[in-house]
Structure 1
């Protein structure tokens, strides 16, 4: 067996702690260090590792100091911090010569996405964005079959996502624009946008968008109508308030098939020539432990399904949505975004 990947974590909040319970059982991972501004958060993460018999973590309150002192003892870094910090931290990791597993969304602007692509291109390091949909076998299979022409020409896409997000995260960092980079559409809705960006296999051409903050500092509801460069039309609907729960439903209409799939790639239905297909469900391991996909890409066992290049397509879409919503739905051309 090859040597374990020496991993550090930047951001030891609830998502990182949730993943840690399964990651500590992976012999192919060696936890080396963790950085977070919260001592309590770092201690919780360290305790999870210790309870699994792992060696003591090196703890830091500043990720820069961690990288400076530990980079020779590391192979890769996982970043799980508020969205607005991703760009600076990701660039620092790449410039340190380390591979990167970066939580979604990749960055908050087109300029940040371009900077990340340039840094990755110079370093040659592996960078995978932790979108469940992009890493889902069902999404990847759908992309492959569509590219092979099995479904015919894409005509339109209808995508919706909903969650009791406004109440669930009231007052938390996700609803503080200086930390989140956006509201519901950019948080939970990012899964929907990114999976669509992957499956349509085309850049966006024009976008028209409306947002409603419902007295919050960030968007709670968002409606988008868009046109792709290949001519297909796309609609997004994001509803960030409602009963408890979270779900999505996306339908891609092709000339030969109708594909229904959720934003996370957890299930799929394919209707070909009018014959409804059975619902397929992704293996839980791929949904609950995306680190396995990162390691597989890093070992060269599979192509990277969640690249910084798709992150740029996503960033252009998001910047256009913000620009259009700020102009009360005025149509925005993607090429004007950068």
Structure 2
């Protein structure tokens, strides 16, 4: 195979970002677009004139049946991911899924099993696994430079509630959850990925702020081995975006402050900003093409990452619904 032919399912805002990335990959080709929205399809035609001759479908099932594709990228409302993903796998396609993977851990287990049965690649577009700052932090932790991780404090603030009002993201039938399941999914994922820690128990307080979905979440996780993490996901913030993550080990500390990294290694009492060159960044689309072509042995964010986050998110929701009861995983 010299080129990987892609079917794009969902070409809204994030779908167009996936298209932009794929068009920069010489070994990738966009074979077809599928979206029920004519307005979304028209925006693609306008922004990417090179795709003028690409086949267009309003029904993704028709696209799977008629297009000679190798893989699909699914960027539709969250509740549609499982059905669309299963159809693509059964149609012989590898699948790259936008976060937060599929609706719930049971469906995550089912689609992972189906991909394994059919010998197809299935990955999640957690792009931070391929970005230099996060790779640097993970390498620092995995090489043991911080020692045993004892405490993690993760904070994310975004005007998510205001920004998603009137959209499918606040419709639980389509979104399957609110801020914790959306932008917050990245925060949960990066902590689990960077540390390699396995959650043991979860407790949470969640406020919907008068909407149908979670907006503000305070989640505490105890990991196997004793480490503790607090996740503070603020969807009612007035600011556009801010994110802090602190990792404290028994030999050192690393702080991520809105893209700036500070480290205190063993014996250092003060943190020092990292000025050295960070690892090179890539993106999930480039990585997925490399995976299909056999250039890498595993996706940067395999489907198992989506399953782990689904289990953790569900536990937080159950805890909050039951008076912050501790939920064991």
Common fold by TM > 0.5: yes
1:8 maps onto 2:1 in alignment: no
Deviation at 1:25, TM superposition (A): 4.2
Match of 2:58 among 41, 51, 61: 61
1:24-65 deviation per Cα after TM superposition (whole angstroms, max 9, x unaligned): 34432211111111122123223433x2x3461211111111
- Counterpart CA distance in 1 for 2:281 and 2:142 is 26
Aligned to 1:333: 328
Q: Tell me the TM-score normalised to structure 2 length.
A: 0.91
Deviation at 1:140, TM superposition (A): 3.3
Q: Tell me the TM-score normalised to structure 1 length.
A: 0.89
For 1:131-280, list aligned pairs within 5 A. Answer: 131-261=126-256, 266-273=259-266, 274=268, 276-279=271-274
- Counterpart CA distance in 1 for 2:24 and 2:91 is 27
Q: Is the 8 A contact 1:116 1:308 kept in 2?
A: no
- Counterpart CA distance in 2 for 1:14 and 1:318 is 25
Matched position secondary structure for 2:96: strand
Change (3 A) 1:100 1:277: farther
- Counterpart CA distance in 2 for 1:272 and 1:330 is 36
Deviation at 1:240, TM superposition (A): 0.6
Deviation at 1:142, TM superposition (A): 3.2
- Counterpart CA distance in 2 for 1:283 and 1:203 is 26
Change (3 A) 1:295 1:204: same
Matched position secondary structure for 2:237: coil
- Counterpart CA distance in 2 for 1:44 and 1:293 is 26
- Counterpart CA distance in 1 for 2:257 and 2:98 is 19
Matched position secondary structure for 2:190: helix
- Counterpart CA distance in 2 for 1:54 and 1:282 is 35
Matched position secondary structure for 1:185: helix
Deviation at 1:283, TM superposition (A): 7.8
For 1:76-155, list aligned pairs within 5 A. Answer: 76-155=71-150
- Counterpart CA distance in 2 for 1:10 and 1:297 is 20
- Counterpart CA distance in 1 for 2:248 and 2:313 is 23
Q: Is the 8 A contact 2:130 2:300 kept in 1?
A: yes
Q: Which shifted more, 319-328 or 91-100? A: 91-100
**Pairwise CA RMSD:** 2.2
Deviation at 1:205, TM superposition (A): 0.9
Q: Is the 8 A contact 2:10 2:76 kept in 1?
A: yes
Q: Is the 8 A contact 1:175 1:217 kept in 2?
A: yes
Task: Specify every segment of 5 or more residues in structure 2 that has no aligned partner in the other structure, as ranges.
Answer: none
- Counterpart CA distance in 2 for 1:79 and 1:133 is 18
Task: Specify every segment of 5 or more residues in structure 1 that has no aligned partner in the other structure, as ranges.
Answer: none
Q: Is the 8 A contact 1:145 1:151 kept in 2?
A: yes
1:5-25 deviation per Cα after TM superposition (whole angstroms, max 9, x unaligned): 211100011111234345334
Deviation at 1:93, TM superposition (A): 1.5
- Counterpart CA distance in 2 for 1:100 and 1:284 is 25
